[in-house]
Amino acid sequence: QKEVEQNSGPLSVPEGAIASLNCTYSDRGSQSFFWYRQYSGKSPELIMFIYSNGDKEDGRFTAQLNKASQYVSLLIRDSQPSDSATYLCAAPTSTKFYFGSGTKLNVKP
Amino acid sequence: DTGVSQNPRHKITKRGQNVTFRCDPISEHNRLYWYRQTLGQGPEFLTYFQNEAQLEKSRLLSDRFSAERPKGSFSTLEIQRTEQGDSAMYLCASSLWSGENTEAFFGQGTRLTVV
């Protein structure tokens, strides 16, 4: 059984700041992680995934994975009000995704 | 590619009634998943299909729940004798499975309210 833990927030940051979203996991066998964004009342949409230790950058988003500490994070640079949403961390297996409860991000203009 | 389509988008039903939801995955996707999401929680796995075969069911899927994917295309999720605790967003996702790093694409969900 995989456990994926996230702080539910809300995390409030001012527009233009860096938002840092964190996720911890219990299964040392987990090899990769997905970050999904979910706007209120909408379905999750993929932002990025990471499977190697270190950083992976995609535009304003950077995912960081530290397998030794069982910790994965998502940094959003130059945060915009349109980034306000719930961010879900997910650990995949061969049959399913295990999702965290999500962190709600509020970006204030 | 029109994405994953779910119908209906909203369903209000009286306790004890049966409801059925439909999911049309992205064409050619071989995997189809059903998840349930309640307010403030992440999606919880219910079941998945590889083509037409239902290969895994969660303990959350009581005997009141049944899912099918005839011919490996669309899928239906039926809940019999609904209870208030069944109120949730039911999400369908599909993928063209090629390993654990395969992205799953979600539909817009069916929001069920049991009154």
User: Residue B96 — pLDDT band, cuts 50, 70, 90?
Assistant: very high
Spatial distance between the Cα atoms of A31 and B44, rounded to a whole number of angstroms:
20
Q: How many CB pairs under 8 A join A and B?
A: 52
Chain B contact present for A45, CB below 8 A: yes
B40: pLDDT strictly greater than 70:
yes
B99 Cα distance to chain centroid: 21
Cβ pair A46:B103 closer than 8 A: yes
pLDDT in tens, A47-100: 999 988 899 999 999 999 999 999 999 999 999 999 999 999 999 988 999 999
Spatial distance between the Cα atoms of B46 and B67, rounded to a whole number of angstroms:
10
Please report residues of B whose CB lies closer than 8 A to that of A88.
42-43
DSSP state of B59: T
A2: pLDDT strictly greater than 70:
no
Q: How many angstroms away from the CA of B101 is the closest CA of chain A?
A: 7
Identity of the amino acid at A9: G
The pLDDT, as a whole number, for residue B72 is 87
Cβ pair A45:B91 closer than 8 A: no
B99: pLDDT strictly greater than 90:
no
User: Residue B101 — pLDDT band, cuts 50, 70, 90?
Assistant: confident
Q: How many angstroms away from the CA of A42 is the closest CA of chain B?
A: 6
A1: pLDDT strictly greater than 70:
no
Dihedral sign, Cα of residue B34, residue B38, residue B40, residue B45? negative
Mean pLDDT of B79-97: 96
Cβ pair A45:B106 closer than 8 A: yes
DSSP state of B41: S
Identify the residue among B57, B101, B102 best suited for mutation to test binding to A, counting A beta carbons within 10 A and taking the highest. B101
Mean pLDDT of B18-31: 96
Identify the residue among B10, B100, B101, B111 best suited for mutation to test binding to A, counting A beta carbons within 10 A and taking the highest. B100
Spatial distance between the Cα atoms of B114 and B81, rounded to a whole number of angstroms:
10
Spatial distance between the Cα atoms of A34 and B103, rounded to a whole number of angstroms:
8
- Residue B91 is nearest to which of A34, A43, A90, comparing CB atoms? A43
Spatial distance between the Cα atoms of A18 and A101, rounded to a whole number of angstroms:
22
A108: pLDDT strictly greater than 90:
yes
Mean pLDDT of B90-94: 97
Q: Using CA atoms in the order B63, B64, B69, B75, what is the torsion angle rounded to 10 degrees?
A: -150
Mean pLDDT of B61-84: 95
CB atoms within 10 A of CB A41: 9
Mean pLDDT of B2-20: 96
The pLDDT, as a whole number, for residue A31 is 84
Phi and psi at residue B19, to the nearest 5°? -135, 150
pLDDT in tens, A14-48: 999 999 999 999 888 888 999 999 999 899 999 99
Closest CA to A56 of A27, A35, A39, A87: A35
- Residue of chain B whose alpha carbon sits nearest to that of A51: B101
The pLDDT, as a whole number, for residue B113 is 98
Mean pLDDT of B58-78: 93
Between B42 and B72, residue with greater pLDDT: B42
**E strands, B51-87, where?**
53-57, 65-68, 75-79
Cβ pair B42:A32 closer than 8 A: no
Cβ pair A88:B48 closer than 8 A: no
